[in-house]
Amino acid sequence: MRNGPWNTDDREVLREKWRLVNETASQCELFLQKVEILRIRVDHVEEGTVEHENLAVEARELFIAVGQQLLESGLTMEDWNWFVENKLPDEPERWKELGQHCQQAKPLKIVFHRIEEFVSAVANAKRRFADAVRLTLNAWEEADNPNTSWFQRDDNGVRIHGKLVELPGRDADVLYFLCQRTSRISTYEDIAELAGSWQLGLDSANDKSIKATQSNIRSCLDRIRKAIRPSFKLTKEHDPVKRVKSGPGWKLDKELLQSISP
């Protein structure tokens, strides 16, 4: 991102910053999924019970944990402050307001609803920050590696053979990941590493959660296919993200895209 203070960092320092900001964003996304699950449980718990009291404690702990993630960015604090001031100038007041709403709420159902709003806002901001740092890191590493010159991460998606495939954050992350692995199969487990909520879903012992996560990953791949086709003028007969018959995984068809590029 232009003028970001991390632009002048040493390569190894920038890699460490990316690790930290991505870890923070993923942790906030895990918190968001947790609060969504707990909010559903609250609807079936009576006031005055031990479970109700335990949920109240968990709500307070979640609120504190997310507040710490928001304020304590460690190595990236200077970068985070710059990003907020220049890219999210209206967010601090919103976070403060949402935090106050959490503290003022009384019924546990309302508490969890307010916390969910707060966590969602923080998680979204942290992911946007992580994406900004990653763009700079990608630019550094792509400049060093001529083998990756056919694809680049872009603010609006991924540029492949000079053609922009427009996609939002997570979908663009998955497409960029597939570009890096055209010689390897990418499984559910591989792709899930890009999102904390996906990892949590696949790692759960709940068959319903696992199937829902797998469905979300397949939906993401479908959105990628739909985004690639107009950029490369492909028809529905062309599958740029092929399911590998020999195993449960996918590969980006690099040869197909290269064959129709100028």
Longest pairwise C-alpha distance within the chain: 69
Distance in angstroms (rounded) separating the CA atoms of residues 59 and 92:
22
Residues 176, 106 share a domain: no
Q: What is the dihedral of CA 233, 237, 242, 247, to 10 degrees?
A: 180
- The answer to whether position 36 is within a domain reads yes
Residues 106, 14 share a domain: yes
Q: How many domains does the chain have?
A: 2
- The answer to whether position 247 is within a domain reads yes
Residues 132, 151 share a domain: no
Which of these three, 115, 136, 157, is where a domain ends? Answer: 136
**Is-above-0.75 flag for pTM?**
no
Whose tokens are 């990628």? That residue is 224
Q: Which of 198, 177, 173, 52 is nearest to 111 (CA)?
A: 52
Cα separation values, 81 from 51, 72, 98, Å: 39, 11, 19
Q: What is the CATH number of the domain that holds 202?
A: 1.10.10.10
Mean pLDDT, residues 152-167? 89
Question: By three-state DSSP, how is residue 204 classified?
Answer: coil
Residues 126, 16 share a domain: yes
**Rg of the chain over CA atoms, in angstroms?**
21
- The answer to whether position 82 is within a domain reads yes
Amino acid 178: pLDDT: 93
75's CB contacts (< 8 A; 6+ apart) are: 16, 17, 20
Residues 163, 55 share a domain: no
Which of these three, 102, 117, 136, is where a domain ends? Answer: 136
Q: What are phi and psi of 187, to 5 degrees?
A: -90, 175
- Is the pLDDT score of 157 beyond 90? yes
User: What single DSSP character describes residue 101?
Assistant: H
- In DSSP notation, 37-50 reads HHHHHHTT--TTSH
Residue 193 belongs to what domain range? 146-259
Mean pLDDT of the chain: 86
Whose tokens are 């492909």? That residue is 234
Q: What are phi and psi of 250, to 5 degrees?
A: -135, 160
Residues 175, 125 share a domain: no
Q: What are phi and psi of 163, to 5 degrees?
A: -100, 130
Residues 99, 47 share a domain: yes
Residues 122, 12 share a domain: yes
Region class of 159: left (phi > 0), else alpha (psi between -120 and 50), else beta: beta
Mean pLDDT, residues 202-227? 92
Which residue type sits at 244? V
Q: Kindly list the strands in the beta sheet with 157-160, ordered across the sheet, starting from the edge strand earlier in the chain.
A: 151-154, 157-160, 163-166
Which of these three, 104, 136, 168, is where a domain ends? Answer: 136
- Is the pLDDT score of 211 beyond 80? yes
Residues 118, 20 share a domain: yes
C-alpha count within 13 angstroms, C-beta hemisphere, residue 139:
15
- Is the pLDDT score of 95 beyond 70? yes
Residues 18, 103 share a domain: yes
- Is the pLDDT score of 121 beyond 90? yes
pLDDT (tens digit per residue) in 125-141:
998 898 888 887 776 66
pLDDT (tens digit per residue) in 222-234:
999 999 999 999 9
Residues 72, 150 share a domain: no
Residues 124, 217 share a domain: no
- The answer to whether position 141 is within a domain reads no
Question: By three-state DSSP, how is residue 219 classified?
Answer: helix
- The answer to whether position 184 is within a domain reads yes
